[in-house]
Amino acid sequence: MSRHHVFGLPIDALTMDETVARCVELVEAGEPVQHVVLNVIKIVLCHDDPRLRAIISSCPIINADGQYFTWAARVLGVPLPARVTGIDLMSRLLAAAEERGWPVYFLGAKTEVLDAFLAVARRRYPKLVVAGSHHGYFKGADADAEAAAEVGVSGARLLFAGLPSPRKETFVAEQLAAMGPVFAMGVGGSFDVWAGLTRRAPKWMQDAGLEWLFRLIQEPGRMWRRIVVNGWRFTWLFLRELVRRTPAPTEA
């Protein structure tokens, strides 16, 4: 079994190749599916938000995205083979969609950012079937329902939601049934990266667990609280989990 539990949440110990294979199976099954990833910030959010915790726990595939979370899980005895980043998984699934002719829908970001992202996606995957797209600046139950209806009538088999957490998780969970047989995956700020609005950390920084520092340097005003405060809170949650999992000493 690939599924384990850590910080009170399920996690699948899958490599990137295993994840892609599982995602392809789920898309071909033709059922509505929500995919999520776990990282440091999302663990903290789940600690504060029982609803988000329930949404994530119900997903059929949950990957580890984030080097610190992956390391922490291993220390806690959960054998995660590697992190599976959302932006890299999106690239692999777009290639699969192009090969198999699956229509894809993109939801999120500002209109101009989304347009720039789509231009890049079409260059990288010239045979990709784009079912549609919609910016991420809509709010309220009626607007959510309208956006979901657009996805549903588009015939999309894959949905990439470039929305922040927990917005993307709750939107997909609430609207999944209305969007038809779609594999829905949140990709956070991936649209911004492909569009050239933000840069991704160099590979050596990713591998060294310093991606947070690269993002903090790029956007200090927006990212400092999210990274620093949540980082300290995650450390506390990790130490608490470590104590909980450490066996009590036996008497001689």
Residues 105-122 pLDDT 10s: 999 999 999 999 999 999
pTM score of the predicted model: 0.93
Pairing state between β 9-12 and 3-6: antiparallel
CB 59 within 8 A of CB 46: no
Report whether pLDDT(203) > 90.
no
Mean pLDDT of the chain: 93
Rg of the chain taking only CA atoms, in angstroms: 18
Is residue 244, in this structure, part of any structural domain at all?
no
Is residue 240, in this structure, part of any structural domain at all?
no
Is residue 31, in this structure, part of any structural domain at all?
yes
- Dump pLDDT digits (tens) for 205-222: 888 888 877 888 887 777
List the beta bridge partners of residue 134.
Answer: 107
Residue 56 makes CB contacts below 8 A (sequence gap 6+) with 9, 10, 36, 38, 42, 46, 62, 169
Is residue 183, in this structure, part of any structural domain at all?
yes
Report whether pLDDT(227) > 90.
no
Is residue 205, in this structure, part of any structural domain at all?
no
Q: How many domains does the chain have?
A: 1
Is residue 28, in this structure, part of any structural domain at all?
yes
Output DSSP code: residue 64: E
Q: Which domain holds residue 127?
A: 3-199
Scanning the structure block, which residue is given the tokens 């949905």? 159
- pLDDT value of residue 249: 62
- pLDDT value of residue 251: 57
E strand residue ranges, 13-136: 33-38, 61-64, 103-108, 129-134
Is residue 207, in this structure, part of any structural domain at all?
no
Among the listed residues 129, 193, 187, the one whose alpha carbon sits nearest the alpha carbon of residue 162? 187
Report whether pLDDT(1) > 90.
no
Q: How many CB atoms lie within 10 A of CB 51?
A: 12
> How far apart (Å, rounded) are the C-alpha atoms in residues 27 and 100?
11
Least confident of 77-81, 94-98, 212-216: 212-216
> How far apart (Å, rounded) are the C-alpha atoms in residues 151 and 175?
10
Among the listed residues 98, 79, 65, the one whose alpha carbon sits nearest the alpha carbon of residue 5? 79
Report whether pLDDT(7) > 70.
yes
**pLDDT band, very low/low/confident/very high, at 250 (cuts 50, 70, 90):** low
Buried b (16+ CB within 10 A) or exposed e, 120-143: ebeeebeebbbbbbbbbeeeeeee
> How far apart (Å, rounded) are the C-alpha atoms in residues 91 and 89?
5
List the beta bridge partners of residue 107.
Answer: 134, 161
Q: How many residues does the chain have?
A: 252
Is residue 217, in this structure, part of any structural domain at all?
no
